[in-house]
């Protein structure tokens, strides 16, 4: 493992920021109503100079009210799922672990649906009502990862194979619960619910929700990053890490809670977008190495790039109709997942 320097870390992140910027520009330009690069650059410059009154009302509506918030949401969701996937893979020492495979996404979906069902019956202020779905998703994700952890623990140690199998079974069970809820309680809006569960970034939120998502991401991702050195040592095994002075229980608790929180937040605003937490960390690991001090931030940028690009394809390939973002990521992710599985079993 090459020694990490601040300069090398910043250069790697800067490269990914430039790629993300290019993808964001593409996402702003393309859609049901195409926007010229000249008009886009002009309106962005006017916005930065505070000359918002000179921005075309049509372009202003498309760029700042429709595509802009959607791109911000895609950046948050991609970064959250990728950091969560990287954390689970490190903690379980298995490159096939991610929130989707472990059933955490399904658990968050169940929690979010139950919160949506309960919201009309609760007399809560609008601010608290907006936070009810993220809280429900987090509780669902936390309960799921706790159950999967119990299933995968043998003689005081985590057996990654058993844990993955437990995650798959738990995810299947929760998917059945989702189907039951959709067939009974939410039968009036099944089509919209199915589209949301497959990954949907078209929902607009109040600014307070975006602030909550941003602060929540930086707090949870920052908590995970404080364990980056310990995660490097955990790759050798829990007993070996303990001998090297790692407080394994503390690291496990921090990573499980923070990664479940990130998954819950992402699912609560976008539904279940599969394979992002699996593919992106693996690709970043191949490019930048397995040092989690580098891998965690690069995975966050890589996930943001992947989801923004997937969402752009989802809303442009059959424009003006759009397809679910989860369908795009699954088309790419499923073959790669099969490849990773066969490579691990070979």
What is the per-residue pLDDT across 298-344, written as a single tens digit (0 to 9) for each? Answer: 999 999 999 999 999 988 887 777 888 888 888 887 787 777 667 66
Q: Is the pLDDT of residue 52 over 70?
A: no
**Mean predicted lDDT score pLDDT of the chain:** 82
Task: Report the pLDDT value the prediction gives residue 87, as an integer from 0 to 100.
Answer: 93
Q: Are the beta carbons of 208 and 130 closer than 8 angstroms?
A: yes
Judged against a pLDDT cut of 60, whether residue 263 lies above it is answered with: yes
What does the alpha-carbon distance between residue 164 and residue 149 come to, in Å, rounded to a whole number?
10
Highest mean pLDDT among 25-39, 67-81, 251-265: 67-81
Length of the chain: 346
Amino acid 236: pLDDT: 80
Contacts of the segment 181-185: beta carbons below 8 A, 24+ positions apart: 181/110, 181/113, 181/114, 181/117, 182/113, 185/117
**Residue-level pLDDT at 192:** 55
Q: What pLDDT sits at residue 48? A: 66
What integer pLDDT is reported at residue 196 of this predicted model?
66
pLDDT digits (tens, 9 = 90+) for 206-250: 777 788 889 999 999 999 999 999 999 988 877 888 888 888 888
Quickly count: other Cβ atoms within 10 Å of residue 322's Cβ: 19
Burial of 41: CB neighbours in 10 Å, binned 0-12, 13-18, 19+ = exposed
Interval 93-110: pLDDT, tens: 877 788 887 888 888 888
Q: Tell me the sheet residues that pair with 236.
A: none
Give pLDDT, residue 84: 94
pLDDT at residue 60 greater than cutoff 70: no
Domains of the chain: 95-277 (1.10.3470.10)
State the Cα–Cα distance between residues 221 and 258, nearest whole angstrom: 7
> Under 8 Å CB-to-CB from 331, ≥6 apart: which residues?
none
pLDDT of the residue at 305 = 96
Does the pLDDT value for residue 194 go beyond 80?
no
Pull the structure tokens for residue 286: 């191949």
């Amino acid at each position: 493992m090459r020694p990490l320097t601040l300069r090398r870390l910043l250069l790697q992140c800067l490269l990914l920021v430039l790629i993300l910027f290019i993808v964001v520009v593409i996402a702003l330009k393309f859609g049901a109503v195409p926007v010229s690069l000249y008009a886009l650059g002009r309106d962005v410059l006017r916005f930065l100079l505070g000359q918002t009154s000179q921005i075309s009302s049509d372009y202003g509506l498309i760029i700042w009210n429709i595509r802009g918030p959607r791109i911000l949401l895609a950046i948050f969701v991609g970064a959250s799922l990728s950091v969560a996937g990287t954390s689970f893979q490190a903690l379980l020492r298995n490159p096939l672990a991610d929130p989707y495979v472990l059933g955490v996404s399904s658990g968050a979906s169940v929690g979010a649906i139950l919160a949506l069902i309960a919201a009309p019956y609760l007399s809560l202020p609008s601010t608290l009502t907006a936070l009810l779905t993220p809280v429900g998703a987090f509780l669902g994700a936390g309960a799921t990862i706790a159950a999967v952890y119990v299933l995968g623990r043998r003689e005081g140690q985590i057996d990654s194979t058993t844990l993955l199998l437990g995650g798959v079974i738990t995810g299947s069970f929760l998917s059945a619960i989702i189907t039951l809820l959709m067939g009974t309680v939410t039968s009036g809006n099944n089509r919209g619910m199915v589209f949301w569960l497959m990954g949907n970034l078209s929902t607009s939120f109040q600014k307070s929700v975006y602030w909550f998502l941003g602060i929540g991401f930086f707090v949870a991702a920052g908590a995970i990053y404080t364990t980056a050195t310990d995660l490097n040592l955990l790759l050798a095994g829990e007993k070996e890490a303990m001998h090297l002075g790692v407080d394994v229980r503390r690291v496990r608790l921090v990573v499980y809670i923070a990664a479940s929180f990130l998954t819950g937040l992402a699912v609560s605003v976008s539904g279940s977008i599969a394979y992002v937490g699996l593919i992106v960390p693996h690709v970043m690991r191949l490019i930048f190495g397995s040092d989690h001090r580098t891998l965690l931030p690069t995975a966050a940028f890589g996930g943001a790039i992947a989801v923004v690009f997937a969402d752009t394809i989802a809303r442009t390939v059959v424009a003006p109709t759009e397809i679910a973002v989860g369908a795009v990521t699954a088309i790419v992710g499923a073959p790669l997942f099969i490849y990773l599985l066969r490579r691990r079993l070979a």
